[in-house]
Structure 1
Amino acid sequence: MNWQEISGSWVLIPRRPIGVVHFLGGAFVGTAPNLTYRCLLEQLGKAGYAIIATPFVNTLDHAAIARSVLNRFENILERLQATNALGQSYLPIYGVGHSMGCKLHLLIGSLYSVERAGNILMSFNNYPVRRAIPFIEQLELDATLNLEFTPSPEETNLLIAKNYEVRRNLLIRFTNDDIDQTTILSPVLQDRFPNMVASLTLPGNHLTPLGQEINWQPSEIFTPIDAIGQWVKQGFSRDLNLLKQEILRWLNPVMSYQ
């Protein structure tokens, strides 16, 4: 099972897929999801999920990005189905997003009629441009330009509240994530789809979904540095493995959260 580049997206197909995951990463790190999210996505692939990870370049027009990544995903999905690369049976489609990728999946589910068995939204944030882009205040931009994302955070929240159509959702936040806004999103989705939205708080931080396997090799004489290295390795692995387990538990239709 190896990554394939198809029409600018990265695709991972197990031998007998049981579902399809459309993955969208965070701003900037989402440009190479097969590398930045490799460990998590490959674990989902080993569990039987075909992965279509769509890179994107961040701009102020988030609605245009959402339209672009959806079009690319659907074109690749149609191509894979036409060649029987996914098998002949129906496969459920799940959206999985991290950080800005959450906002894009929410816009897709609010602006377009899409078929989704559910969405998994990790570390959602929906900040205005002056907080989302580091150092923008130092650029001394003309205040009359009124730079803001399209749609703005307020417009995005209204779109979700009125038009979001993906009923089943898993919201994940991490204990040490200071920029997470899941607590704002959760009641909006709960009001729209009561009893269909699950929320989890897991150990880790905003970068936990990007965790990679750390191959720390201690020296011949075990030193305090080796002890720290092993501790860091175990912490990263533990948080990432727990995240993977909870995602797979939710994806399994036999299991459910109350």
Structure 2
Amino acid sequence: MDWQELSGSWVLIPSRPVGIVHFLGGAFIAAAPQVTYRWLLEQLGRQGYLVVATPFLNTLDHVAIAREVLNRFETTLDRLKATRLLRKQYLPIYGVGHSMGCKLHLLIGSLFSVERAGNILISFNNYPAKQAIPFLEQFNMLDQLTFLKQLNIKPAFDVEFTPSPQETNDLIAQQYAIRRNLLIKFIKDEIDQTAILSPVLQQRFPNMVVLQMLPGNHLTPLGQDVNWKTGDSFTPFDAIGQWMKQGVYRDLNRLKLEMIRWLNPLAVG
């Protein structure tokens, strides 16, 4: 089971798919999700889920990004069916997002007509642009001063994502249509805003939203399989390396198990 690029997405195809996962990653690590999230996504593939990981580059227009990744996902599915790489007529589709990827799935579920069996939203955050992008105000200031100073026009330095954080929350509260959701928050994640999202979804879909608090931090989903080899003798450095590896994989494996249990409660005993 190998990754292959298809219609702008990276695809992992198990021999007998039981479902489809559309994955969207975080803002600055989403350009190569088949690399940055490889371990986690391949674990889903081993459980029989066909994974479509769609890369994107972050801009201020998050609606445009949501529309683009949705179009690429649907084009990829069409290509899979046309080339008979996907033979089943129907498989349940799940959205899985990490960080900004959560916001994109929420926008897709609020603004576009899509069929989803559910969404898994990991480490949701929805910060204003000035907090999400360091030095944004300074860069914007340089651009505007170049053109406006000679015109005696006061530059406007307020730059924000479209939709803004408040507009995003309002859209979700009024229009989000994906009923079944798993929200995952890591205990040591200091930039997570799941606490804001959870009551909004709970009010919209009572008894259909699950919130899981897990050990780990914002970068836990990016854990990779590091093949730590010791030398002829086991040194203190080897002991530290093994201890770090065990800690990372304990958190990462717990995340995998909770995701698989939610996707298919019969898959995990």
Q: TM-score, normalised by structure 2?
A: 0.92
Give the distance between the partners of 2:140 and 2:235, measured in 1 at CA: 49
Q: Is the 8 A contact 1:27 1:101 kept in 2?
A: yes
Gaps of 5+ in 1: none
3-state secondary structure, aligned to 2:187? strand
Q: State the match for 1:204 in structure 2.
A: 216
Q: TM-score, normalised by structure 1?
A: 0.95
Task: Show CA shifts across 1:12-55 (max 9, x none).
Answer: 00000000000000012100000000000001001000000000
Give the deviation of 1:81 after TM superposition.
2.0
Q: State the match for 2:179 in structure 1.
A: 167
Give the distance between the partners of 2:187 and 2:228, measured in 1 at CA: 25
1:179 aligns to 2:170 (yes or no): no
Give the deviation of 1:82 after TM superposition.
2.7
Task: Show CA shifts across 1:106-162 (max 9, x none).
Answer: 000000010000000000000000100123355472661311000000000000000
1:146 aligns to 2:158 (yes or no): yes
Q: Judging changes above 3 Å, is the alpha-carbon distance between structure 1 residues 4 and 140 closer, same or farther for their aligned structure 2 residues?
A: closer
Q: State the match for 2:52 in structure 1.
A: 52
Give the distance between the partners of 1:87 and 1:247, measured in 2 at CA: 25
Q: Is the 8 A contact 1:34 1:53 kept in 2?
A: yes
Aligned letter for 2:51? I
Give the deviation of 1:93 after TM superposition.
0.1
Aligned letter for 1:80? L
Q: State the match for 1:36 in structure 2.
A: 36
Total equivalences in the alignment? 256
Give the deviation of 1:86 after TM superposition.
2.0
1:116 aligns to 2:128 (yes or no): no
1:194 aligns to 2:194 (yes or no): no
Q: Is the 8 A contact 1:107 1:160 kept in 2?
A: yes
Give the distance between the partners of 1:153 and 1:110, measured in 2 at CA: 14
Give the distance between the partners of 2:251 and 2:40, measured in 1 at CA: 11
Aligned letter for 2:82? A
Task: Show CA shifts across 1:201-255 (max 9, x none).
Answer: 1111000001001211122222221111000111111111111111000001658
Task: Show CA shifts across 1:164-200 (max 9, x none).
Answer: 0000000001011000000000000000000000000
Q: Judging changes above 3 Å, is the alpha-carbon distance between structure 1 residues 219 and 93 closer, same or farther for their aligned structure 2 residues?
A: same
1:226 aligns to 2:235 (yes or no): no
Segment drifting more, 89-98 vs 143-152: 143-152
Give the distance between the partners of 1:3 and 1:139, measured in 2 at CA: 37
Give the distance between the partners of 1:88 and 1:204, measured in 2 at CA: 37
Task: Show CA shifts across 1:53-89 (max 9, x none).
Answer: 0000000000000000000101111221233322224
Give the distance between the partners of 2:140 and 2:89, measured in 1 at CA: 56
Q: Judging changes above 3 Å, is the alpha-carbon distance between structure 1 residues 255 and 51 closer, same or farther for their aligned structure 2 residues?
A: closer
Q: Is the 8 A contact 2:66 2:105 kept in 1?
A: yes
Report the RMSD for the aligned CA atoms in angstroms.
1.6
